[in-house]
Amino acid sequence: MFELLTETDIEEVNERAKKRLRFARIDEQTLKFVREAGEIILPHKPSIVEKLYSSIVSDNTLKEITFTYSNEERLKKILSEYIDRFFRAEVNQQYIDSSISIGKVNSRFHITPELFIPAYQLFVQIITNILIEKLSNKPNRLTDYINAVQKMASYDLQLIVQTYVDRTETDFLNRISVMLNRICRSDTTKQLIFSMEKQIDEIHNVTANSEEISASIEYIANNIEKVAEITNDGMQSAEKSKETIQKSLTNIHEIGKVFHSLQDNIYYNH
């Protein structure tokens, strides 16, 4: 068994991360139990990886993403490394950055929470089942280990999902900014009409992103109590973003009406 650390790894992380750890009720004892649980779980790592991989590729969307941007060997390696990192339970800045990077990858490849969360829940379920099987005659230890693993998993999932929401929302708002800047730079009728047509197409795309964010936040709210605060913030931002899109679209249509009117006047004057 691992000895309880006299100086917790938690002290190495920033204040924002410390608050989240306290909210999740993760302390030195929690980390100790996770490491001890790892001694039971890690011998089963190959079978855990296989089960997770099979579950991932059973979903058509995840399967397409996997084989478009990765491959079986690479995905299994990523899963194996994550399991090792999870049960080392070294909650330092490197650990946090690693979880954040998962959220960034999810955002980049549009792996929404609706797709990611069930796979992560399966990971926790598999671990729980193994612990129950191995510690059925030690109920107190079983309870300690399961509680510790669930706290750690909840914390990790919160980091990943919030990063996904923040990153996706930022990209979405940046696209709106670029779109509006293009409109402002248009200085001739021909350029503006061309820009309008192009921007309308882009509005459809950013609206789809907005709907993706909203759907993701709604899913999180319904399935994960631990990230309720995140979803509320994300939902408010998504609503503001949709209002911005609607205003932009209205302005574009108004500009279009002006140019159509100008064209009609030119036609009748000739």
Residues 6+ apart with CB under 8 A from 45: 80, 83, 84
Kindly calculate the radius of gyration of the chain based on its CA atoms and give it in whole angstroms.
24
b/e map of 114-123 (b: 16 or more CB within 10 Å)?
A: ebbbbbbebb
Taking only the tens place, the pLDDT of each residue in 27-64 is 899 999 999 999 999 999 999 999 999 999 999 999 99
Taking only the tens place, the pLDDT of each residue in 5-21 is 333 455 555 666 667 77
Q: CA torsion 225→146→45→108, rounded to 10°?
A: 10
110: closest CA among 180, 176, 164, 33?
164
| Residue 224 CB neighbour total at 10 angstroms | 19
Side-chain-facing half-sphere of 36: CA atoms under 13 Å: 20
State the Cα–Cα distance between residues 232 and 120, nearest whole angstrom: 22
pTM score above 0.75:
no
Q: 228 exposed, middle or buried (CB, 10 Å; 0-12, 13-18, 19+)?
A: exposed
Taking only the tens place, the pLDDT of each residue in 191-211 is 655 666 676 666 666 556 556
Q: According to the model, what pLDDT value does residue 147 have?
A: 96
Taking only the tens place, the pLDDT of each residue in 116-169 is 999 999 999 999 999 999 999 999 999 999 999 999 999 999 889 888 888 887
